[in-house]
Amino acid sequence: MQIFLKEVKEFFRDPAAVFMCLFFPMLMVLILGSFLQQLDISDYGIENIKLHYTAQNSDVLNTTAFEMFLSEADILEAEKSTDTESSRRMVQNGELTALVTLNGSDIELYCGDNGVSNRALSSIFNSYQQMSAIYKSILRSDPSALRNIEFADIGGSDTFVEREGLGVTRSMMDYYAVAILVMMLFFSSIGSSDSVREEKSRHTIFRVLIAPKRRTRVFAATILGKLPEFIVMIFATMVFSAVICGARYCDDILGNLMLILMYLTVSAALISIGYLIGLLINIPGPSVCLPVCWTMLFFSGSFAKPVVIEGLSGYLPPYIIQEASFSLTLFNDYSGALSVTLCSFVIFAVCMSVSALIFSKKNFLK
């Protein structure tokens, strides 16, 4: 208990440690939060997308349905192309967003340079094709079903259904808050890899070792004494990102408690790994742990999503923890979080036992 309390006191009185564990994550959340809030307010309104369309090898039903869809879509300004070559040139000159060709039941897009509009068009026409496929399927099996549709129910001003409980508004901040937390857990735990060296350089370890206490107990208390700082870091970052930057985690208390428990066991596992590394190597732990952590986080998409590598990233611990977090916060799915918590606890127990064994036998004078 004395060692545990000493560790806690030391942390809260060390300005550098408090900054690293408490204010640095908040700062990251604040900076990224305001940046992402700006990103969420798009300066490009996806509306009035001008396009020309033409139909080839398409029957009347298909063409009529397609034209009806184009006329109903508010954000599209569609005109039938009279000269496809001329329309292509207009797309190239930026006068049109796209030339859409209905070829049989396929839709071909000839797009310009506007990536945002292009993505929007792709989504719109993908949806259209899916809906068409459904209607065609119904037509083939039971055409009479279509006749019973009350056309008054279709169209109008209601373009989508919004119902309480279904329409949780998510922002980029929700993803980045989790990514930052995972990143901070990894980086903060690096410090523990140097705890042994720090105690040795301050010579306090020798005083502790010659006291009539079992070394395994000394070791366990030291590791457990590091956990409160992680609890504070996790809690402060979550509250701060939620209150100041509007990040959303789970919608219920139980989910958030599960999230905190998962992060805490992950912290414990990381601390014990850091401590084990610190005991095994005689060079500063961070010089080994930092590049490894950074690389794992980089390829887990914590810094940027595009660097995720299929077949590799999915096996990296930060990626798995992030995925479990998202499953819990977005879909209320506890399975990933429970698995991560359990695995982390096993890693913690194993590393702790091995480290305690090494700690009890190690000659720190060397």
- In the complex, the residues that contact another protein under the rule CB under 8 A are 2, 6, 9-10, 13-14, 202-204, 206-213, 363-365
- Nearer Cβ to another protein (15/306): 15
Cβ-based nearer residue to another protein, 15 or 165: 15
Q: Which is nearer to another protein, 208 or 290 (CB)?
A: 208
Q: Which tokens in the block code for residue 191?
A: 């410090």
Please, what is the minimum distance in Å from the beta carbon of residue 286 to another protein?
20
C-alpha to C-alpha distances, 32 to 228, 319, 326, nearest whole angstrom: 26, 20, 18
CA distances from 345 to 248, 340, 350, 353 (A): 26, 8, 9, 12
Indicate the helix (H) or strand (E) that contains 266: helix 253-280
- For residue 41, which phi and psi values (nearest 5 degrees)? -85, 90
Pairwise CA distance, residues 203 & 220, whole Å: 19
Query: For another protein, which is the closer residue by CB, 207 or 305?
Result: 207
Cα–Cα distances (Å) from 197 to 219, 222, 272, in that order, read 14, 13, 15
| Closest separation in Å from C-beta 4 to another protein | 11
Query: Considering the complex, what minimum distance in angstroms separates the CB of residue 169 from another protein?
Result: 44
Instruction: Name the residue nearer to another protein (CB basis): 7 or 323.
Output: 7
CB of residue 363 to another protein, shortest distance in Å: 7
Q: How far is the CB of 206 from another protein (least distance, A)?
A: 6
DSSP state, residue 244: T
